[in-house]
A and B are shown apart, each in its own frame.
Chain A
Amino acid sequence: MARLPASIPDLVAQFGPHLNREPSGGWTTLGEPDRIVPTHCCFCGQQCGIQLKVKDEKIVGFEPWEAFPFNKGKLCPKGVKRYMQDEHPDRLLTPLVRDEARGFQPIDWDAAIDRAAREIRRIQSAYGPDAFAVLTGASLTNEKAYLMGKFARVAVRTANIDYNGRLCMVSAAAACKKILGIDRSANPWSDIPKAKVILVAGANIAECAPITTDYLWQARENGAQIIVLDPRMTPIARTADLFIPVRPGGDIGVFYGMLHVMARRGWINREFIAAHTTGWDAVEAIVERYTPEYAATVAGVPASMIVRAAELWGPAETSFLLHARGIEHHSKGVENCMAAINLVVATGRIGREGCGYAMITGQGNGQGAREQGQKCDQLPGARDLENPAHRDYIAGVWGVDESTIPHTGLSAVPLLEAIHDGRIKGLLLICFNPAVSLPDGEFIREALSRLEFFTVIDFFMSETARYADLVLPGSLMEEDEGTTTNVEGRVIHHRQVVRPPEGARQDWRIICDIAKRLGAGDKFAYESTRDIFEELRIASKGGVADYAGITWERIDHEMGVFWPCPSLDHPGTPRLYEGWRFGHPDGKAHFQPADWRPAAEEPDAEYPIVLTTGRVVSQYLSGTQTRRIGALVDQYPQPRCEIHPRLAGSIGVADGDFVRVESRRGAVVVRAQVVKTIRPDTVFVPYHWPLGRSANNCTNRAIDPVSHIPEFKICAVRVSRVSEPSDDIAALEPAAGGVR
């Protein structure tokens, strides 16, 4: 039983989120710190370089790291204030067990580890090995991501391990693999300012990847033209050369409408296509039907915009296409991404300076964490779990019999569904807050409450951890050492800056201890995270994401190393596909046809408005970390529903009114923000908040058939004006789900 052991207001009073507004020691003049440690920001896949200041073994501030080439000292507000989660009053400092009606009670570490291991085996012997699942996160270091995959398969011996990258990069990853053969951004960011045309599709760069802004603006200074597809006029779209306010889910209309015009006007690189690709004919057959007029009906924008986009993109000398969750968070997310990549490959403008393609990774280690084998269908080195040769190789690295490695398990959303319907009884979770971040929030929270035993490793009591039977206090990024792989495929080094506070432990030590109690101690006998990295290098060797030639010393010396890097004398690979050698065995790019199809739930008479969700610049993911930092909460304290004045007027809503946004699954009550910068048929609510303020109460559990990404970007809702909510949750602080 994992129902909440106390009322939510009581849990919030005890565990937060509370706001940390001052650095350790207060806002007094700091003077010289004892040391300044160069490392990286943990909030988002850009992984900006930053230096943390330490005084008396506490992190007290930051100094920009101008020498790091990716961001040259630049930071967004999250990076500036990230150090405020150190010395935070909400830090968990002892293992906690659920105590019916009394909330959580402390227990000692030895008993906690013993309990965690015992419950895994109890559930497995009662219900079978796969009845216990492991859920992990894409904000873990490469070392921890690798460890979690091995832990699930070798120590727990369950098929059911997946991660929250399932909400992030999987559509882009699948499309990239299918067409280009390698799941990674094709180019380093230094290629962006060299492109003459840049197309940004479904990426609110200013808020979700702020550092990339300077690369775009630098391209513009160099004469580039910028095209933006988004249902909202984002800060980048505002001054773009062409802003296409595409309707949510209509992106393929723009991409194929452009290809149609380009085919007519001779802007398809047929010589390149003949020599270096397969499958163009099938794409062209579909594109043939996407006249600008038809494409416009799919995209929900005037045909002239699509023609103009083709005129900018088609004949360009050099170009760069970037996309993010806006086109990926769909039940046709992979198809959307394939259509975008088709647009790149049809021009042949890839694999050389200023010509390329990138997906903008969202989570801290969104790239690396999906290569190390914590996906339900994958082994380290981005290897395939069902490929016999791959299984053999990894079995050798792990020192286990190949037959003992479980086969493909459930991905995140079906895994939660299996918990809901009782097929999965136990769960160990780290670095994931599904109570806020998964769609259909009420269903997800109900699923969590049905677990027989639930262990959570986290440094704060997340909304998900409240459902746990056992909470193990883990470590922040700056309290451990390891690597991540940034948005470009650049492997970088996170240094340990301080020790975890007394009572908390480094995540990898917790996992290794549980593995020992499960009888797999010999396979988890690591002395340090460097030991794990050294094993990861071997495990990835010969794989697509080959880290074999990367050492922590090289990373420090070269300011990061781009994979694939198969040997110590290999320089790494900043730009993929040079010489038009693609990642498939035949060396060619494989065009993928995909026709447009509707979303799982389109608006109708009963629910006539589209809800789309996303981020704000001052919050990160489910807010477990950033809703605890006062300065970031002040910047945008509570979610608001962006609504066009025409739609607002038609339903009698004025700016600042409370509105109820309601789908077939649930509702969220937030204040309206009436703005002309959104399509009049669409409303937007950011998703970082819990409970009655969770946009994911409304979103749809429908998933893409290939990537299994949920359809966060479109569901049908109705919107109505309501009075200010006055329930117990609404009375909480906004960071905890209240309203002001």
Chain B
Amino acid sequence: MSELAFFIDYSRCIGCQACVQACEECDTHRGRSLIHLETIERRDSVQTAPQVCMHCQDPICAQVCPADAIKQTAEGVVQSSLKPRCIGCSNCVLACPFGVPKYDGDADQMMKCDMCYDRTSTGRRPMCATVCPSGALAFTTIEEIMRTRQGRAVNDWQFGDQHVRTKVFVLVPTEVTRVNVAIIPLSSLRQAQPPADPYDVAALLEAH
């Protein structure tokens, strides 16, 4: 049996915010939720997506930190900035391809998801992945995921020219082996067709 890992299946998310509410119950940052739940475009759809820190193997946030304030544990968990070092410059906020780190004005430091290090380091599962009622967030073994889920768990990402490998996996269709986030030149947007509207109920009623 391999070690426990973090998996995200965006297609399961129902936007209930149990993860957001549970995150602030974590003992190392009680009262401060560090997970992000994105509402994609409520006018068009109820689609939502949770975003924990992906814990890059070679974290970009740490690479760009001029104060060397972002450290990784031996297990590969990328931690919030070290308070005495963080200068609040927000380089990490701008550089993270996943939009995870946020500068917290009250604390005057960058804070982000640390995969519930206090819990995972003592054999418990992260708060968000334990309570998530849809299974969009899961903390389990890769074998268990392969046994119970369709698709493929990947942790390889391509952002334009930048290749990133993360500790956290996402579930994608089986034919996908690497998530390729293409960079779309602004000039091409004007020619792009408006997105189809699969979630417009009025259109559904007329389509048949």
Q: Are A210 and B199 in contact (CB under 8 A)?
A: no
Say what secondary structure dominates the interface of chain B: loop
Q: Are B14 and A675 in contact (CB under 8 A)?
A: no
Q: Are B16 and A210 in contact (CB under 8 A)?
A: yes
Give residues 108-158 of B contacting A (CB, 8 Å): 125, 127, 130-135, 148-150
Known: A80-B18, A675-B42. A211 touches B133 (CB 8 A): yes
Known: A30-B27, A238-B46, A675-B43. A302 touches B207 (CB 8 A): yes
Q: Are B149 and A676 in contact (CB under 8 A)?
A: no
- Nearest residue in B to A21 (C-beta to C-beta)? B31
Smallest CB separation, A121 vs chain B (Å): 48
Q: Are A234 and B21 in contact (CB under 8 A)?
A: no
Smallest CB separation, A433 vs chain B (Å): 24
Best-surrounded residue of B28, B130, B133 (most CB of chain A within 10 A): B133
Q: Is A155 an interface residue (CB 8 A)?
A: no
Q: Roughly how many angstroms separate A31 CA and B118 CA in the complex, as a whole number?
A: 11
Smallest CB separation, B137 vs chain A (Å): 10
Q: Is A453 an interface residue (CB 8 A)?
A: no
Q: Is A704 an interface residue (CB 8 A)?
A: no
- Nearest residue in A to B206 (C-beta to C-beta)? A302
Known: A233-B199, A235-B46, A678-B201. A77 touches B18 (CB 8 A): yes
Q: Are B133 and A75 in contact (CB under 8 A)?
A: yes
Q: Are B148 and A213 in contact (CB under 8 A)?
A: no
Contact string against B for A residues 43-82, beta-carbon threshold 8 Å, 1 for contact and 0 otherwise: 0000000000000000001101010000101111101110
Q: Roughly how many angstroms separate A29 CA and B148 CA in the complex, as a whole number?
A: 36
Q: Is B180 an interface residue (CB 8 A)?
A: no
Q: Roughly how many angstroms separate A245 CA and B204 CA in the complex, as a whole number?
A: 8
Q: Is A92 an interface residue (CB 8 A)?
A: no
Known: A213-B14, A217-B12. A77 touches B20 (CB 8 A): yes
Known: A80-B21, A233-B199, A675-B43. A213 touches B150 (CB 8 A): no
Q: Is A618 an interface residue (CB 8 A)?
A: yes
Q: Is B30 an interface residue (CB 8 A)?
A: yes
Give residues 304-350 of A contacting B (CB, 8 Å): 304-305
Q: Is B166 an interface residue (CB 8 A)?
A: no
Q: Are A75 and B18 in contact (CB under 8 A)?
A: yes
Number of interface residues of B (CB under 8 A): 46
Smallest CB separation, B36 vs chain A (Å): 14
Smallest CB separation, B202 vs chain A (Å): 5
Q: Is A206 an interface residue (CB 8 A)?
A: yes
Q: Is B72 an interface residue (CB 8 A)?
A: no
Contact string against A for B residues 182-208, beta-carbon threshold 8 Å, 1 for contact and 0 otherwise: 000000000000000101111111011
Q: CB within 8 A of B132: which of A22, A74, A243, A635?
A: A74
- Nearest residue in A to B12 (C-beta to C-beta)? A217
- Nearest residue in A to B148 (C-beta to C-beta)? A221
Q: Are B43 and A210 in contact (CB under 8 A)?
A: no
Complex interface: chain A residues within 8 A of B11 (CB): 239
Q: Are A617 and B135 in contact (CB under 8 A)?
A: no
Q: CB within 8 A of A80: which of B131, B134, B204?
A: B131
Contact string against B for A residues 226-248, beta-carbon threshold 8 Å, 1 for contact and 0 otherwise: 00000011111011000101000
Q: Is A489 an interface residue (CB 8 A)?
A: no
Q: Are A644 and B201 in contact (CB under 8 A)?
A: yes
Q: Are A245 and B14 in contact (CB under 8 A)?
A: no
Q: Are B16 and A207 in contact (CB under 8 A)?
A: yes
Q: CB within 8 A of A27: which of B14, B15, B31, B201?
A: B31
Complex interface: chain B residues within 8 A of A62 (CB): 25
Complex interface: chain B residues within 8 A of A76 (CB): 16, 18, 131, 133
Complex interface: chain B residues within 8 A of A218 (CB): 135, 148
Q: Are A210 and B17 in contact (CB under 8 A)?
A: no
Q: Is B47 an interface residue (CB 8 A)?
A: yes
Best-surrounded residue of B16, B42, B47, B197 (most CB of chain A within 10 A): B16
Q: Is B22 an interface residue (CB 8 A)?
A: yes
Q: Roughly how many angstroms separate A304 CA and B204 CA in the complex, as a whole number?
A: 11
Q: Are A64 and B30 in contact (CB under 8 A)?
A: no
Q: Roughly how many angstroms separate A645 CA and B14 CA in the complex, as a whole number?
A: 23
Give residues 113-151 of A contacting B (CB, 8 Å): none
Q: Is B44 an interface residue (CB 8 A)?
A: yes
Q: Is A403 an interface residue (CB 8 A)?
A: no
Q: Roughly how many angstroms separate A305 CA and B206 CA in the complex, as a whole number?
A: 11
Q: Are A301 and B17 in contact (CB under 8 A)?
A: no
> Can you name 21 A-B pairs with beta carbons within 8 Å?
A27-B32, A64-B131, A74-B133, A75-B131, A76-B16, A76-B131, A79-B18, A80-B21, A206-B134, A207-B16, A210-B16, A221-B150, A235-B14, A235-B46, A238-B45, A238-B46, A238-B47, A635-B21, A675-B42, A676-B201, A680-B202
Q: Which residues of B contact A (CB under 8 A)?
A: 11-18, 20-22, 24-25, 27-28, 30-32, 42-48, 125, 127, 130-135, 148-150, 197, 199-205, 207-208
Enumerate the 7 nearest inter-chain pairs by beta-carbon distance, A residue then B residue, closest first.
A27-B31, A302-B208, A206-B14, A235-B14, A210-B133, A304-B208, A676-B200
Given contacts A29-B30, A245-B201, A677-B46, 19 further A-B contacts (CB under 8 A): A22-B31, A29-B28, A61-B25, A75-B131, A77-B17, A80-B25, A206-B16, A213-B134, A214-B134, A217-B134, A218-B148, A233-B45, A235-B14, A235-B46, A239-B11, A655-B43, A676-B199, A679-B202, A680-B202
